[in-house]
Amino acid sequence: MLMKRRVVITGMGVISPIGNDLATFRENLKKGTCGKDSEGFPVIDGRKLPPVFRVKNFNPKRHGTHLLDPLIQYAVDAAEQAVADAHFDLTSVDPYSVGLSVSSSKGGVCTLDRFQERFLRHPSAIMGARMYTSAVPNFADQWIARRMKIRGPARCYVAACATGAAALIAGFRVVSEGAAEYCLAGATDASITPLMLAGYYNMKALAKNVIRPFDKRRDGFLVGDGAGVLFLETLESAKARGIRIYGEILESAQGQDVTHPIHFDLKDHALSYTLKVLMERASLTPKEIDYISLHGTGTKQGDLYETLEIKEAFGKGAYRIPMSSTKGMTGHMLGATGAVEIIATLLAMQEGFIPPTVGLEEKDPQCDLDYTPRKMREHSVRTAVKISLGFGGQVKAIAFRKI
């Protein structure tokens, strides 16, 4: 039988459209700051695409990764922040005792976009190799390992927009089951390229101008970039070090909707099933949940599905639980979104507030839960649940508890 140890988060690092460090991110999260760019993306095929949420004022030369894809740059910086925030000296432990679970939803599409035409004009094996070393989803993980001399077990799960949550679940299992004593877990994405945006536009997934989760006028999401990385260790280790603990990972659950590559089936109940499994594993009741961090992309079908499934899982108890989506502030950071939203959840838990759902002004009558519209609310959060959904039917749910 595998051992099961209590796992806590003691360090966090973030790169996002509303802040490239934990303090700035926390401040803008509380303010309800929208990180949307003032201008849209350049015209493609005669069509001006909707605005995006870029990372701003990021120094790509800080860690010497400026020649690599932005997703690697963001991941390395966020990992460095997480280790520093945990006040952890990696050189003081066996490098095989530290694991890594850092991934991306699609790899280095910025690099592919950057070198594509140049390679077609002047084919070069060296250029092809350079493209490859930035393009594969697990190379952010590998660059962190190289810089930090980490030699422990590696996990790199790709789950579309649920990648960040999948990465944390994998890291949680690594430490809980004793495969490693410590783990850096999270996700990164840099997807603001003509190809990616045109694809989402053609899917009719993009909003015209504003992300409005659960609003009756909602019409889609807008793309953001960034990364979130968390430092995991056992509760015993954290107590022995006397370090601040953001929260404990109680349990996790995962599900799959098999009906459509993009949409979730209202009759399939993949999310409600996953939530019920999570509650059973964590020995929780709906009355004990103080906050739910929603996926909340602002799409017509997605927000309704999430609302109905929460009510299916929790019954009337769903109406008393404060919840919110932070994508109106950060944009939809795709693979990174789950990791960054987990960081927001843990900050809310530590400081006693519910992040706002920015963009929600006129609630959809069918979306009738407590989504914390527009402004944050002071509220004690001892137990929280994070929901992440991804194209391809990916469903992830994680429960956290304040220590």
Active-site positions?
A: 161, 295, 332
**52 and 40 Cβ atoms separated by less than 8 Å:** yes
**CA-to-CA distance for 333 and 54, rounded, in angstroms?**
10
Kind of pairing between the strands at 377-378 and 383-390: unpaired
**CA-to-CA distance for 168 and 181, rounded, in angstroms?**
15
How far lies 256's CA from each of 26, 193, 206, 389, in Å? 32, 29, 24, 10
Which residue shows structure tokens 């001892």? 382
- Cα–Cα nearest to 200, from 212, 210, 191: 191
**175 and 349 Cβ atoms separated by less than 8 Å:** no
Find the DSSP H helices in 122-191: 125-135, 139-148, 163-176
Number of residues that this document lists for the chain: 403
The dihedrals phi and psi of 298, each to the nearest 5 degrees, come to: 90, 10
Helix axes 109-121, 194-202, angle to 10 degrees: 120
**CA-to-CA distance for 245 and 247, rounded, in angstroms?**
6
How far lies 70's CA from each of 82, 108, 109, 188, 358, in Å? 18, 8, 9, 9, 27
**CA-to-CA distance for 330 and 174, rounded, in angstroms?**
29
Consecutive H or E run containing 394: strand 394-401
Instruction: Tell me how crowded residue 115 is: count the other CB atoms within 10 A of its CB.
Output: 18
Q: HEC states along 231-256?
A: EEEEHHHHHHHCCCCCEEEEEEEEEE
Distance separating the N- and C-terminal Cα atoms of the chain: 27
**CA-to-CA distance for 356 and 115, rounded, in angstroms?**
40
**CA-to-CA distance for 214 and 248, rounded, in angstroms?**
29
